[in-house]
Amino acid sequence: MAEKFYITTSIAYVNGEPHIGFAMEAVEADAIARYQRLLGKETFFLTGTDEHGSKLAETAKEQGLKPQELCDQNSAKFKELTQILNLSNDDFIRTSDQKRHWPAVQKLWQKLVEKGDIYKGEYEGLYCVGCESFITEKELVDGKCPHHDKEPEKVSEENYFFKLSKYSKQVADLIRSKKLNIVPDFRANEILYLCDQGLKDVSFSRPREVLNWGVPVPDDDSQVMYVWCDALTNYISAIGYAEETEQFKKLWPCDCHVIGKDILRFHAAIWIGMLISAGIELPKSELVHGWIHTKGERMSKSKGNVISPFDLVDEYGVDAVRYYLLSEIPMGKDGDFTYARFEEKYVADLANSLGNLVNRVIVMTQKYFDSVVPEAKISPEIKKIQDEALKKYHQEMEGYMLHKGAGKAFSLVHFANKYIDEKAPWTLAKEGKDEELKSVLFNLLQLVSQVAVLLIPFIPQSIEKIFQQLDLPVPPTFADFKLVPPGHKLGSAEPIFPRLEKKE
């Protein structure tokens, strides 16, 4: 039986349309899922939408819509995004789904009650609608939420609380022992600091009179579950926790949650505390990415610098967008987006390096050998370089350092282009050095096919075109990959990455 791998994105909040930040998270999870499938693992990739909370209820009211209407409208756009970005997700969960999601949430709540970890109490404090979170005075910057630049509301109400404080040491021990592996390490230190200070109990509900849009608290119709208790449960509701299905038993625990740095506290503290309390196995790792800035500023609607992934894909193509987000922005850190850098990277890496390499090799094989792979053997030098690059590529990909994994694949692209310039096949042909010419082109074809396999997680649509030109099927796993055999007839050369039109 194949080893399983279960990966999730966070679920996108449907208060607004998809932005480039969530697109980055989605393609990160997709690249990892595709890589794990190449390893031969039975991989399940979940994404979806978070559809409850006061922020959404307020936005719906402003737009003259019912909350469910706004959810349906924006969730459809996130579902469309999975197709636009060529994601390989296996499922899409919606938290407003009363058949799939709500029973799991209410079951988990009851488990926390049975453990004695839910209690009712008075809450008085500051609430940020943007974060859907209660925050402390210490977290404010100039009296405002640092994430949303707005003053929080002063709230006084009776809520149910979850005894998160009870699990401070356990959470810290799990992180320090790497049983819960938070990547990169410096993000783990942020949670450890909070644990060492002592985690605080968390408000887990709000009065229905304040918020009427959410999952009802079991046995108390006057309260609605607070959004984080509801939202985090999606990771188990989607795979059948409520009914303890075979799928749930097979897939859980999750191997990797891919999340943004702004929701790390909820995933590495609250979610873990909930699972410990309920006696459910813990996820193995949490991969935390940073934010995308533009010209050094965080994107926001108020600044008018939000970039639509739909527009970007429409103008440049899906693989250009995927490649930039996966290779340019260091995993775990903030990154910058500018159109100038995007186009520079498109031209340099995709068009001039990879696209040009494939075209030259296919065209030269056609010209000198009538598109038939020449009889030759891979040279020891090329074999050594391939093996070294492959080893480093796997190390980076297994550690979720996707930008470095892409870099290792492209190291072979750059080597191959340099190899062409040094060996000058056109000169070998002119001088009648047929055996050397056969060897050079055979080696180049092996490099092209190897590069193509390594880049499947990053630019799958373009890789299909490369394999079409090699007249070979795209290998479903690394184990199925075979080097291009002598005597094999290639397909015809076609441009893979179109030239960019100069903007006025």
- For the purposes of burial, counting CB atoms within 10 Å of the CB of 435, is it exposed (0-12), middle (13-18) or buried (19 or more)? exposed
Examine the pLDDT at 503 and tell me if it is beyond 60.
no
Domain ranges of the chain: 338-480
Amino acid present at 319: D
Amino acid present at 112: L
What is the tens place of the pLDDT at every residue in 23-66?
A: 999 999 999 999 999 999 999 999 999 999 888 888 999 999 99
User: What pLDDT band is residue 504 in, cutting at 50, 70 and 90?
Assistant: very low
- pTM for this prediction: 0.93
**Beta-ladder partners of 203:** 161
What is the tens place of the pLDDT at every residue in 165-220?
A: 999 999 999 999 999 999 999 999 999 999 999 999 998 998 998 888 999 999 99
What is the tens place of the pLDDT at every residue in 299-316?
A: 766 566 788 999 999 999
Tokens 């625990």 correspond to what residue? Answer: 253
* b (16+ CB within 10 A) / e for 248-261: beebbebbbbbbbe
What's the chain's Rg over C-alpha atoms? 26
Its CATH class, for the domain covering 338-480, is mainly alpha
Least trusted range by pLDDT, from 256-260, 340-344, 411-415, 499-503: 499-503
Q: Which two tokens stand for residue 496?
A: 């893979």
Q: Which two tokens stand for residue 453?
A: 């396999």
Q: What is the mean pLDDT of residues 94-109?
A: 97
For residue 294, what pLDDT is reported?
Answer: 85
Contact residues for 319 (Cβ-Cβ < 8 A; gap 6+): 86, 350, 458, 459, 460, 461, 462
For residue 131, what pLDDT is reported?
Answer: 66
Q: Which two tokens stand for residue 5?
A: 């791998």
